[in-house]
């Protein structure tokens, strides 16, 4: 067996530090390992903190997913202390999270993922008139003239001629896996540049409600941004108008640029609808409550689990069936290396056992990552836009069914195409259209409430710790851009005693478990997966990027138990 061992480290165009190792055989990937190579210990740092501060700490788990850990934390604390958020607070949080997801997905497509499919150098030989014709045939977007594309092409040409390629240095340009005609490459390059300005504009919604982005401010019990139509320093008619404009610009861009581009590009890569399928189980925790988070029926995107790709049944989710394993991770469990712990019993004792750096290979080591291995009822689960769209589709969600049907029809593929690298990327686009449209509805709901005289954004009944029980515990969830996120908090005497997160990239970037089941990245890389040239592993990047990895999130490691903390500090 002539297998070639291969390491890709760093995996770039992601958040955080990820290392992929594979074994290649006859042009295909035979075996794979995903290693997260950063640990920050934030969960340990949470111990003894005021639960009302927790959102700010956990928000710093990730500056790309800058809303979702705050939101999950707020919900965990509000669950523990039985705090009800006023409807305006719920809607404002939806607007902030929804815009985050839309902006994040678009950035992912153009700035993190596109270069896996788009050959920048090839765009130089495009006929700008041809690009304009293609652009006009797929979208009414006004900025699609030959002149515009010619100008972009000239800029790129000078850039390449200068010999200083900056971030494009050493890209896999000219690799036979690039299939787009030059004209489509030019279209994508133009929108890569254009999306930079767009993302900066629409995210200003966060500054209005949260003061800034990244890391906007939140508040246990609601939101701190008060509403008063008759004051200049609060949410008033002027801010609402600004928000409405941003939401409109977000939706139009998604409908007229991102979505048509995605479909056009996907049409040239239909073979990737049979590659990179991965684990057959999908988990969506659900998101966007339109009344209260406790009312699961009010979630715009439903909660549930798909097992073995069976779209005829949505299995109800029960958080008590989540376990985390560390058999192949650099942690130690007091009860033994093969047990699975529920987050309320979670432990985080880092214990590096592996080769001395510099590393050659980690694949020969029993333990190979800072990521734990979460399992649901013993099964690995894929989370993220694909899981959400599958659960919504199988639940009969009308908006999702319409968009999925439209996408499959345009690409002339069946629903099975969704279980793939391409399916993951397409599902992200579908979700972006869906949420970009829903933002307007949430804003209308908020405006209606204000009109009817309700301006409350915060419930302060249980703000004072003297109103809290002596001990409490709570679970907060959030279906983040990258997938299902859970925070579990335990509080005693007004302070956090234990804090545990199970994060989207922990699910997806999970290592093997005690039964040897691979995590979703690992399984996807061995699912009918090509790797033609080990020196230029573009195929690996396509599948890994289709998950939109966020490694700082994944190695959250926020467990806070005194005994373990002291163990950690003596090291």
Partner 1 sequence: MIIPDSYPWELGETLGEHLERRGISRREFLGFCSRLGVMLGLGSLMGPSIMEALAQQRRPSAIWLSLQECTGCTESVLRTADPTIGDLVLDLISLDFQENLMAAAGHAAEAALHDAMEANRGSYILLVTGGVSLAEGGIHTMIAGRPAVEILREAAEGAAHVVAIGACAHWGNIQASNPNPTEAVGVGHIVTGKPVVNIAGCPPIGDVVTATVAHILTFGRVPELDADGRPLFAYGVRIHDNCPKRANYDAGQFVEAFDDEAARKGWCLYKVGCKGPVTFSPCPIIQWNDRTDWPIGAGHPCIGCTERHFWDTMTPFYGRLPGIAGFGIESTADVVGAALAVGAAAGVAAHAVVTGVQRARHKPDEIEKEEV
Active site residue 69: yes
Active site residue 509: no
Q: Which of 31, 50, 255, 399 binds partner 1 (CB under 8 A)?
A: 50
* Smallest distance from partner 1 to CB 28, Å: 19
* Smallest distance from partner 1 to CB 124, Å: 13
Q: For residues 352-411, which are near partner 1 according to CB under 8 A?
A: 352, 357-360, 370
Number of Cβ atoms within 10 Å of the Cβ of 499: 31
Q: Does 120 bind partner 1 (CB under 8 A)?
A: yes
Structure tokens at 528: 């009918």
Which of 32, 35, 65, 527 is flagged as catalytic? 65
Nearest 10 degrees: Cα torsion 537, 539, 543, 548: 50
* Smallest distance from partner 1 to CB 255, Å: 23
Site map for partner 1, 327-356, x if CB under 8 A? -----------------------x-x----
Active site residue 553: yes
Active site residue 456: no
- CA dist 104 and 112 (Å) reads 10
The stretch among 205-213, 285-293, 333-341, 431-439 that binds partner 1 (CB under 8 A) is: 205-213
* Smallest distance from partner 1 to CB 53, Å: 5
Structure tokens at 250: 């977000």
* Smallest distance from partner 1 to CB 372, Å: 15
The full DSSP string for 337-394 is TT--B-GGG----B---SPPSSPS-STTSS--BS--EEEETTB--B-SHHHHHHHHHH
Q: Which of 38, 143, 320, 467 binds partner 1 (CB under 8 A)?
A: 38
Which of 75, 93, 367, 482 is flagged as catalytic? 482
The stretch among 56-64, 179-187, 314-322, 398-406 that binds partner 1 (CB under 8 A) is: 56-64
The stretch among 74-82, 207-215, 291-299, 505-513 that binds partner 1 (CB under 8 A) is: 207-215
Active site residue 466: no
Assign 460 to helix, strand or coil.
coil
Active site residue 550: yes
Longest dimension (CA), the chain: 76
* Smallest distance from partner 1 to CB 294, Å: 21
Q: With contact defined as beta carbons under 8 Å apart, do 47 and 499 qualify?
A: yes
Q: Does 211 bind partner 1 (CB under 8 A)?
A: yes
Which of 13, 19, 69, 75 is flagged as catalytic? 69
The full DSSP string for 300-323 is EE--EEE-TT-TT--BPP-GGGEE
Active site residue 238: no
Active site residue 478: no
Closest CA to 505 of 550, 559, 558, 557: 550
Which of 139, 505, 527, 546 is flagged as catalytic? 505
Which residues, other chains included, contact 197 with Cβ-Cβ below 8 Å and sequence gap of 6+? none
Residue 501: phi and psi, rounded to 5, are -120, 140
The stretch among 42-50, 256-264, 335-343, 518-526 that binds partner 1 (CB under 8 A) is: 42-50
**DSSP conformational letter for 493:** T
Q: For residues 543-562, which are near partner 1 according to CB under 8 A?
A: 552
* Smallest distance from partner 1 to CB 298, Å: 23
Q: With contact defined as beta carbons under 8 Å apart, do 29 and 567 qualify?
A: no
Which residues, other chains included, contact 314 with Cβ-Cβ below 8 Å and sequence gap of 6+? 302, 304, 305, 306, 391, 394, 395
Q: How many residues bind partner 1 (CB under 8 A)?
A: 105
Instruction: Give the residue numbers annotated as catalytic, written as ranges.
Output: 15, 62, 65, 69, 482, 505, 550, 553
């Amino acid at each position: 067996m002539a297998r070639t061992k291969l390491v890709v480290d760093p995996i770039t165009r992601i958040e955080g530090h990820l290392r992929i190792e594979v074994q290649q055989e006859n042009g295909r990937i035979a075996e794979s390992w995903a290693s997260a190579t950063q640990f920050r210990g934030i969960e340990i740092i949470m111990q003894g903190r005021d639960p009302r501060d927790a959102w700010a700490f956990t928000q710093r788990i990730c500056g790309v997913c800058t809303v979702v850990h705050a939101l999950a934390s707020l919900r965990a604390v509000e669950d523990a202390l039985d705090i009800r958020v006023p409807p305006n607070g719920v809607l404002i949080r939806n607007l902030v999270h929804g815009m985050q997801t839309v902006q994040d997905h678009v950035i992912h497509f153009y700035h993190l993922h596109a270069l896996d499919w788009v050959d920048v150098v090839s765009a130089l030989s495009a006929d700008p008139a041809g690009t304009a014709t293609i652009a006009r045939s797929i979208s009414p977007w006004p900025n699609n003239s030959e002149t515009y594309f010619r100008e972009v092409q000239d800029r790129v040409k000078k850039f390449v001629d200068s010999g200083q390629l900056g971030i494009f240095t050493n890209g896999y340009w000219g690799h036979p896996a690039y299939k787009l005609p030059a004209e489509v490459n030019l279209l994508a390059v133009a929108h890569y540049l254009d999306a930079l300005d767009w993302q900066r504009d629409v995210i200003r919604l966060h500054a209005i409600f949260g003061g800034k982005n990244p890391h906007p401010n939140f508040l246990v019990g609601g939101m701190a941004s008060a509403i008063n139509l008759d004051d200049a320093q609060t949410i008033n008619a002027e801010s609402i108008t600004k928000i409405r404009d941003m939401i409109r610009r977000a939706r139009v861009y998604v409908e007229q640029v991102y979505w048509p581009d995605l479909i056009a590009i996907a049409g040239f890569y239909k073979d990737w609808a049979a590659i990179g399928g991965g684990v057959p189980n999908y988990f969506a925790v659900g998101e966007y409550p339109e009344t209260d988070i406790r009312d699961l029926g009010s979630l715009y995107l439903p909660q549930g689990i798909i097992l073995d790709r069976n779209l005829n049944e949505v299995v109800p989710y029960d958080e008590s069936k989540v376990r985390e394993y560390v058999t192949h991770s650099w942690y130690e469990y007091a009860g033994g290396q093969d047990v699975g712990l529920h987050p309320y019993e979670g432990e985080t004792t880092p214990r590096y056992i592996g080769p001395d750096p510099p590393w050659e290979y980690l694949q020969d080591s029993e333990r190979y990552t800072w990521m734990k291995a979460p399992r649901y009822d013993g099964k690995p689960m894929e989370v993220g836009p694909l899981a959400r769209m599958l659960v919504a589709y199988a639940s009969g969600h009308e908006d999702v069914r319409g968009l999925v049907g439209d996408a499959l029809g345009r690409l002339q593929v069946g629903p099975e195409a969704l279980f793939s690298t391409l399916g993951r990327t397409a599902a992200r686009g579908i979700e972006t259209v869906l949420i970009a449209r829903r933002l307007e509805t949430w804003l209308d709901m908020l405006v209606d409430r204000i009109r009817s005289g309700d301006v409350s954004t915060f419930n302060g009944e249980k703000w004072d710790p003297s109103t809290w029980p002596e001990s409490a515990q709570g679970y907060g969830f959030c279906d983040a851009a990258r997938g299902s996120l859970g925070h579990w908090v335990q509080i005693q005497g007004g302070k956090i005693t234990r804090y545990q997160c199970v994060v989207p990239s922990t699910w997806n970037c999970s290592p093997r478990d005690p039964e040897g089941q691979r995590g979703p990245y690992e399984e996807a890389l061995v699912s009918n997966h090509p790797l033609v040239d080990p020196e230029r592993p573009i195929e690996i990047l396509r599948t890994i990027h289709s998950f939109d990895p966020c490694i700082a999130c994944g190695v959250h490691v926020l467990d806070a138990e005194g005994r373990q903390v002291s163990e950690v500090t003596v090291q």
